[in-house]
Amino acid sequence: MIPMSNNGEGILTGNMQIFMLRHGQPKFPDSRPYVYGQTDYPLSEKGLEQARRMGAALSGIPMRRIISSDLSRAARTAEIVAEMQAEKICKPERDPELREMNMGEWDGRLAEDVNVDFADIYGKKGRDIVTAAPPGGESFSDLRERGVTAFDRIIDESSDLGRILIVAHANLIWSIVSRVFGIPLGSVFSFAHAYCGLHVLERRKEASDWGLYRLVRYNWLPNPDDQADRP
């Protein structure tokens, strides 16, 4: 079990707890690297096992609301965690605003093909990760605007529930964490984003000198062998 009591050991009494979980490993067409964002890959067998391990770790921590991206890799992860809750309080909800970054014309294509067919913009994206966008897709700043708007709405809707779980995607979760804690968005690759990595935030009733949120756990995993993060 995650080292945190049902009351949220290390979390101040009465403050809201937000658990944010990346989905398990997807099942790709083959072993080659793909560019993917909103391509709807399902969970692989390893991803299903990662979700079950996290479900077991969270089973004794009752979630008052569970909401996920509507992409199947996140929605299935949320379903597995919900099924394993010892105290089943809610059914998982799906919210398309929690989807991963829209990679436009690159989505679902081999990385090597994208590098050849879109050499100029692909190189620009590597140099300017925050504002450059694939043709027909989102930039990181676009994603953060969408993700933070959805996060704020969910928090407002759930503020009296005490503890919620959001199951989404690496870049979406990072966009929220970076905004909440004032971390530069472009430093994403300096932080781990493991499949089924769990982040726990505490939201104070009122903002203090240290802000409204406190980071209690970052990228926690029940099995350290799952530490391999991207893609």
Average pLDDT, the chain: 90
Kindly indicate the confidence band of residue 206, based on its pLDDT and cuts at 50, 70 and 90.
confident
In order of their start, the domains of the chain are 16-28+43-100+138-227 (3.40.50.1240)
What is the average per-residue pLDDT within 79-100? 97
Q: CA-to-CA distance for 125 and 128, rounded, in angstroms?
A: 5
Q: CA-to-CA distance for 54 and 46, rounded, in angstroms?
A: 12
Q: The whole model's pTM is what?
A: 0.91
Does residue 135 or residue 6 have the better pLDDT? 135
List pLDDT tens digits, range 114-173: 989 988 877 777 778 899 999 999 999 999 999 999 999 999 999 889 999 999 999 999
The pair of three-digit structure tokens given for residue 104, joined into one six-digit string: 């436009």
Contact 199, 20 (CB under 8 A): yes
Share of the chain above pLDDT 70, in %: 91
Kindly indicate the confidence band of residue 2, based on its pLDDT and cuts at 50, 70 and 90.
low
Residue (of 38, 73, 17) closest to 9 by Cα position: 17
Handedness of CA 196, 226, 57, 52 (dihedral sign): positive
Residue (of 49, 10, 57) closest to 221 by Cα position: 57
Q: Who's near 20: CB < 8 A, 6+ residues apart?
A: 165, 166, 167, 168, 173, 176, 177, 198, 199, 200, 201
